[in-house]
Amino acid sequence: MTFIGSIKFAIDLLAVLLLALGIKGLSKVRSAREANRLAAIAMILAAFGVLMNSQGTIGIPINSWVWIICGTLIGGLLGAFTAKKVPMTAMPEIVALFNGCGGMSSLLVALGVALFPSSDGSDGLVSELIRNLSIVVSLFVGAITFSGSIVAMAKLQGWLSTPSWTQSKARHFFNILCAVIALIGGIYLAIDGQNGLFLIVVASSLLGIGVTLPIGGADMPVVISLLNSYSGVAAASAGFVVGSQLLIVAGAMVGAAGLILTQVMCDGMNRSLVSVLFGGALGANTVTSGGGGGEYTNITSCSPEECALTLEAAERVVIVPGYGLAVAQAQHTLREVTRVLENADIEVTYAIHPVAGRMPGHMNVLLAEADVPYEQLKEMDVINPEFPATDVVLVLGANDVVNPQAKNDKSSPLYGMPVLDVQEARTVFVVKRGMSAGYSGIKNDLFDLQNTSMVFGDAKKVLGDLLLELKELGVGSKG
């Protein structure tokens, strides 16, 4: 091994070590931020290692440098810009977008090597058959990751709805057909190294779309996590294509860790991976599924003033924050309201559904921002038995996660989803902008119940009015 070769080897080892420590650290609250930086440093080291070839960086032609710098600047700047500008509420979409681009990158590498076989960069390290097989895997997984992630993003953004055919058996037929075509293309390509290339790319892209399109918004984080795992697999197979062990080990690590994270998320949402992938969207077709449809018959609406009067008389209040609260940026106003209530010796807790916000953990971020004490955040299993002893529940911009249909109505598409049993409380106030349905597109039986009152309006405005009313009533002034 030459001197530079040894240095390069040492850099690679260090990069792998830092990446492993980074992934490990990211799963603990205390070390997460440092771990993220560690992983970033590892990536810089790894890139540096690749740029040092046998004669050091001098060995790379000028012309290659130009293209490296172009790609780096454009991709890097766009990435940095996107990361800074994106609102916290759009986090699921943006992770999907980034992930899709990673898949696309692996796909393009495999495409380049397949189109121009002389420049595979592996220097004859692997036999032709193995190289072709690696290309096939890269193309297949890369294309699924890309198209699946983009569809996931478009659905979360509301650019794409769920077409009804994807909820029927037809989609299984479509997906199996795509998989078979991709397999045939793969066999072709593995044998002769040229034919079948575009067959795989097109068929696997369609497969990615066909698998992701039927999945509803509430389950989408699980899918994104799974696709994240796939992009690790795509990176590992790209490692076989260009002959880089560093890439193989890093890709394998992310792929496996992503799989575990997907499982953990499924457990948190009480859904199985199989039902997420093959069960179809929750309530995407309310009409055909029988349950969930129908008009509201018994809506009681009330003003913030009435709401304040009820709150004044309460002893235990539970807040159920949801996506609407996040969108209205009302977490700070909410905190002021709860401070007033606490001053009046009213016990206030927050019920956090596993998917509150739009992804697991999303709501915790937003409430942390508003300085809500961590001990007041209660998870679903802890808070559910406490609802019967609760005087007032304030539902702020949450919908599907408080729908009693999930427990009572077997024909409902929501049936089986874990929900917060807010209807057990004595009085429920639902702050909502209008009567529109939630993510699932399903009617919420909670709104029709006797003990539920709707307070219509933007969460921030309603909370602001509520705060004024409470102060006028002299709640919490200790006088």
Sites for another protein among residues 86-145 (CB under 8 A): 86, 88, 91, 94-95, 98-99, 101-102, 104-106, 108-109, 111-113, 115-116, 119-122, 125-127, 130
**49-88 positions binding another protein, by CB under 8 A:** 50-51, 53, 60-61, 63-64, 67-68, 70-72, 74-76, 78-80, 82-84, 86, 88
* Interaction between residue 472 and another protein (CB under 8 A): no
Q: In the bound complex, what is the minimum distance in angstroms from residue 130's beta carbon to another protein?
A: 6
CA distances from 277 to 169, 226, 280, 344 (A): 13, 10, 7, 48
Choose the catalytic residue: 12, 120, 219, 400.
400
**179-198 positions binding another protein, by CB under 8 A:** none
CA nearest 13: which of 42, 54, 40? 42
Q: Is 400 a catalytic residue?
A: yes
**237-296 positions binding another protein, by CB under 8 A:** 238-261, 264-265, 268
* Interaction between residue 148 and another protein (CB under 8 A): no
Q: In the bound complex, what is the minimum distance in angstroms from residue 8's beta carbon to another protein?
A: 12
Question: d(Cα 382, Cα 378) in Å, to the nearest integer?
Answer: 6
Decide whether 231 or 453 has the Cβ nearer to another protein.
231
How long is the chain? 479
**378-437 positions binding another protein, by CB under 8 A:** 379
Of 21-29, 180-188, 193-201, 417-425, the window that binds another protein (rule: CB under 8 A) is: 21-29
3-state SS class at 377: strand
Decide whether 47 or 389 has the Cβ nearer to another protein.
47
Instruction: Please state the φ and ψ torsions of residue 397, each to the nearest 5 degrees.
Output: 65, 20
Decide whether 234 or 328 has the Cβ nearer to another protein.
234
Q: Which residues of 359-370 are buried (b: 16+ CB within 10 A; e: fewer)?
A: bbebbbebbeeb
Question: d(Cα 459, Cα 433) in Å, to the nearest integer?
Answer: 8
Instruction: Please state the φ and ψ torsions of residue 328, each to the nearest 5 degrees.
Output: -75, -5
Decide whether 209 or 246 has the Cβ nearer to another protein.
246
Residues 6+ apart with CB under 8 A from 427: 310, 314, 391, 392, 393, 451, 453
Q: How many residues bind another protein (CB under 8 A)?
A: 117
Q: In the bound complex, what is the minimum distance in angstroms from residue 180's beta carbon to another protein?
A: 26
Question: d(Cα 141, Cα 205) in Å, to the nearest integer?
Answer: 9
* Interaction between residue 19 and another protein (CB under 8 A): yes
**23-42 positions binding another protein, by CB under 8 A:** 23-24, 26-30, 32-33, 35-37, 39-40
State the DSSP string of 77-130: HHHHHHHHHS-GGGHHHHHHHHHHHHHHHHHHHHHHHHHSGGG-SSTT-S-HHH
Question: d(Cα 24, Cα 335) in Å, to the nearest integer?
Answer: 34
Decide whether 245 or 275 has the Cβ nearer to another protein.
245
Of these, 8, 362, 443, 460, which contacts another protein (CB under 8 A)? 362
Token pair recorded at residue 29: 């609250």
Which residues are catalytically annotated? 400
